[in-house]
Amino acid sequence: MKINNYFGVLLTIGLALTACSSDDSNTEQVYRTYTMTIDATKGANEAASRGDTRALTLNGSTLNATWATTEHVYVQGKELSDNSYFWFEGSIQPQSAGTTTQLNGVISLPTGFSISIDEAIGKPHKLNLQFPRPSVLDYTGQIGTLADIAAKYDYAKATDVGVDIEADKVVGVSPVTFVNQQAIVKFTLKDKADGTTLLNPTALTIQYGEESLSLTSIPSTTYGTNGNGVLYVAIPGFSDKAVTLTATVADDTYTFTKSGVTFVNGQYYEINVKMKNNT
């Protein structure tokens, strides 16, 4: 089993806000729409630019990631009044592909908010940043390819990002680091009977302790992309748990069980699995 870090992001944050209010009076304006700019740098182990689409790419046994101009980073606040979290509308995007970029975009307080960002999140001013989606961490619907993981499941977050708010400007207190929320595992599945026949399941369930993750509709194109027997899975990290893999191959069911398994968030694993036909 090969293990290595696959992702790290460092941001130096500076936000400039613009008012959408047309009130010309001398009363204090309530700003709702903000223009946001962030300088972003990836870690030393990342790959060079891959063009305009973000990608997770393999260089030997090292999994690398790059920014892309199609990437979206989302901003989250915690409402002071009831400690509930909310997502700002809009997003920020890389302006160039590669390991270093600037993230620009426009975000707004959610519809229905009649107060300023200062009143909404209180003091000290803190925000969360997340990509690739503004949602709870959801790993359902994976099809087993790196491209699919990069687009939907390669979650990384920067939490409690300290910012200073002065009138219509927000400035980051210090650089922040994104933290990956899952491991990425390359499974190569083989028939235990001969140890060499590669298996192309249409469904795979990974049971780890009392939790599980299922790929329920793996298309044949996945194996055209990956090669026979190969599936890439994004899975939240866990420590020292029994793991059971159950694969559906045509009318047959294959299983594999191993105890004491650990997957660490932010790590990439390559695992060869010899599965028993239980049909």
pLDDT tens-digit map of 41-82: 543 333 333 333 445 777 777 777 677 888 898 999 998 888
The last residue of one of the domains, among 180, 205, 223, is 180
Please indicate, yes or no, whether residues 63 and 175 belong to a single structural domain of this protein: yes
- Same-domain pairing of 39 and 152: yes
Q: Are residue 222 and residue 174 in the same domain, yes or no?
A: no
Which tokens belong to 27? 């009363």
**pLDDT score of 1:** 56
Summarize pLDDT for 117-140 with one digit per residue, the tens.
Answer: 888 888 888 888 898 999 899 999
Q: Of 41-45, 107-111, 222-226, which one has max mean pLDDT?
A: 222-226
pLDDT at 94: 78
Query: CATH no. for residue 210?
Result: 2.60.40.1120
Share of the chain above pLDDT 70, in %: 78
Task: Choose between 262 and 163: higher pLDDT.
Answer: 262
On whether both 193 and 265 belong to a single domain, the answer is: yes
Pairing of strands 267-277, 183-191: parallel
The structure tokens 């009076």 sit at 25
- Across 165-179, 226-240, 248-262, least confident range: 165-179
Same-domain check for residues 105 and 208: no
Asked whether 87 and 74 are in contact (CB, 8 A), the reply is: yes
Residues 89 and 144 in one domain: yes
Lowest mean pLDDT among 2-11, 48-57, 62-71, 230-239: 48-57
Decide which of 111, 146, 180 is a domain's last residue. Answer: 180
- CA dist 75 and 77 (Å) reads 7
The pLDDT, as a whole number, for residue 20 is 44
Q: Which positions ≥6 away from 160 have C-beta within 8 Å? A: 126, 128
Q: Which of 115, 148, 180 is the last residue of a domain?
A: 180
More confident residue, 275 or 15: 275
Does residue 22 register a pLDDT over 60?
no
How would residue 21 be classed by pLDDT, with cut points 50, 70 and 90?
very low
Domain that holds residue 208: 183-277
Do you find a cis peptide bond into 175, omega within 30 degrees of 0? no
Are 117 and 208 in the same domain? no
Averaged pLDDT score across all residues of the chain: 82
> Which of 36-50, 149-163, 194-208, 245-259 has the least mean pLDDT?
36-50
Is pLDDT of 18 > 50? Answer: no
Residues 9 and 141 both lie in one domain: yes
Percent of the chain at pLDDT above 90?
47
Range from 32-41, 81-90, 155-164, 250-259 that averages highest in pLDDT? 250-259
Cβ 6 vs Cβ 179: under 8 Å: no
Q: Which residue, among 37, 17, 14, has the nearest Cα to 116 in the 3D structure? A: 17
Predicted pLDDT at 42: 47
**Is residue 220 classed exposed, middle or buried when 0-12, 13-18 and 19+ CB atoms within 10 A define those classes?**
exposed
Whether the predicted pLDDT of 239 surpasses 90: yes
> ∠ CA(211), CA(159), CA(69), 5° rounding?
95
